Chain A
């Protein structure tokens, strides 16, 4: 089974702190994604990566950056956390095989609270 793990289930940070969210997948997937999930808004794509050191902005990249130094690991960075970044963050991965019908596999999520 594909496994996507995220470093923390719950995280509490203070405004202005630099925050790192880590995601690791064990299936040698080329693509990795970061979403945030807010009630009534569904999931919104922050950034994705289709290869090591490659990244693309999603729909809401402002206030975030990412890093992918190894194929299995994709990090989301909040340079200076703000209260409006309080949210559930979900990481996902997918393979290039089978083209557009590829499903994404999700981690359990990190619930981040910024005080």
Chain B
């Protein structure tokens, strides 16, 4: 089954510094890719999704991700972290011809320090 690997289970950054959350996927084809965020005691919210229209995808709250087929990566970035960005982030793949299923990564917990 096609899957995603989030390379870091925890990332800590200082407020105002860049954020990089890494995600690699395993796929022979171009999958559909998503990033979701989960704030404490909240449901998951879609940050952005790759739809093959453009390799650089912009999402909400200043986040963006770049699809790199040669590296099978879909890393999430933000130029300047805000305290409110502290949350759990999930990289998600829908393999081609998979119907409705989504495969979730195990999550990266982002800590933002003052």
Contacts and interface: CB of A to CB of B under 8 A. Distances in A.
Interface of A: 4, 31, 33, 35, 40-45, 48, 50, 56, 58, 90, 92, 94, 100-101, 103-109
Contacts of A108: 41-43
A48 B105 contact: no
A71 B70 CA distance: 41
A31 B98 CA distance: 14
B44 A106 contact: yes
A99 to B, nearest CB: 9
29 contacts: A4-B43, A31-B100, A33-B100, A40-B9, A40-B106, A40-B107, A41-B106, A42-B104, A42-B105, A42-B106, A42-B107, A43-B104, A45-B101, A48-B100, A50-B99, A56-B100, A58-B101, A90-B43, A90-B44, A94-B100, A101-B49, A101-B51, A103-B34, A103-B49, A106-B36, A106-B44, A107-B43, A108-B41, A108-B42
Q: Is the interface of B mostly helix, strand, loop or mixed?
A: loop
The 9 closest A-B pairs by CB, nearest first: A106-B43, A106-B44, A43-B104, A42-B104, A42-B106, A108-B43, A101-B51, A103-B46, A100-B32
Contacts, number: 49
Contacts of A44: 104
Interface residues of B, number: 23
Given A42-B105, A101-B51, A103-B34, A50 B100 contact: yes
